Amino acid sequence: MKKPVTSDTGPSLTVGRSCAVLGARDTRPSLAVAIHHQAQALHQGCTRCRACVSQCAFLQKNGTPGEIAASLLAGDSAVDPFECSLCHLCTALCPAQIAPRDFFLEMRRQVAAHNQLPTRRYTPILKYEKRGSSRLFSWYGLPTNCNTVFFPGCTLPGTRPETTWSIYQQLKKNIPHLGMVLDCCHKPSHDLGRQDSFLIWFTDMRDWLIRHGVRHIIVACPNCYKIFHEYGQGLNVRTAWEIFAEIKFAPTHPVIAHGQITIHDPCPLRDHQDAQQAVRTILHRLGLKVREMRHSKKHTICCGEGGSVGLINPDLAEKWGEKRKMEAGNDLVITYCAGCAGFLAKTGIKVVHLGDLLVNPEKALAGKASVARAPRTYLNRITLKRRLQKAIHPGQQNDERE
**pLDDT per position as a tens digit, 195-205:** 999 999 999 99
CA distance 334 to 284: 12
Segment among 21-25, 337-341, 391-395 with least mean pLDDT: 21-25
Tens digits of residue pLDDT in 208-236: 999 999 999 999 999 999 999 999 999 99
**DSSP letter at 173?**
H
CATH of 128-246+373-398, one of 3.40.50, 3.30.70, 2.40.50, 1.10.10: 3.40.50
Contacts of 349 (CB under 8 A, 6+ apart): 321, 324, 325, 328, 333
Q: Where are the domains of the chain?
A: 13-113, 128-246+373-398, 250-365
Segment among 3-17, 108-122, 159-173, 326-340 with least mean pLDDT: 3-17
Amino acid occupying residue 183: D
Residue 28 has pLDDT above 50, yes or no: no
Give the H or E element holding residue 150. Answer: strand 148-151
CATH number of 13-113: 1.10.1060
CA distance 141 to 182: 9
Strands 179-182 and 351-353, bridge-based pairing: unpaired
Contact 51, 24 (CB under 8 A): no
Q: What is the pLDDT of residue 254?
A: 62
| The dihedral formed by the CA atoms of 35, 39, 42 and 45, expressed in degrees to the nearest 10 | -120
Contact 293, 280 (CB under 8 A): no
Return the SS3 of 191.
Answer: helix
Segment among 27-31, 336-340, 348-352 with least mean pLDDT: 27-31
Amino acid occupying residue 390: K
Contact 332, 350 (CB under 8 A): yes
CA distance 164 to 385: 11
CA distance 184 to 257: 38
Contacts of 24 (CB under 8 A, 6+ apart): 4, 5, 6, 9, 10, 30, 31, 32, 113, 114
CATH of 250-365, one of 3.40.50, 3.90.1200, 1.10.3470, 1.20.1070: 3.40.50
pTM comes to 0.90
Amino acid occupying residue 67: E
> Residue 115 to residues 16, 58, 111, 128, 392: CA-CA distances in angstroms?
14, 24, 7, 21, 42
| The dihedral formed by the CA atoms of 206, 172, 158 and 137, expressed in degrees to the nearest 10 | -50
Segment among 109-123, 165-179, 306-320 with least mean pLDDT: 109-123
Share of the chain above pLDDT 70, in %: 88
Strands 236-239 and 216-219, bridge-based pairing: parallel
CA distance 357 to 363: 8
User: For residue 375, is the peptide bond before it cis, meaning its omega torsion is within 30 degrees of 0?
Assistant: yes
Amino acid occupying residue 296: S
Half-sphere exposure of 86 (CA within 13 A, CB side): 26
Tens digits of residue pLDDT in 31-77: 678 888 999 999 999 999 999 999 999 999 999 999 999 999 998 88
Residue 257 has pLDDT above 90, yes or no: no
Contact 239, 217 (CB under 8 A): no
Contact 84, 59 (CB under 8 A): no
Fold match, 128-246+373-398 / 250-365: yes
Amino acid occupying residue 345: A
**DSSP letter at 204?**
H
Phi, psi of 320 (to 5 degrees): -65, -45
Contact 110, 21 (CB under 8 A): yes
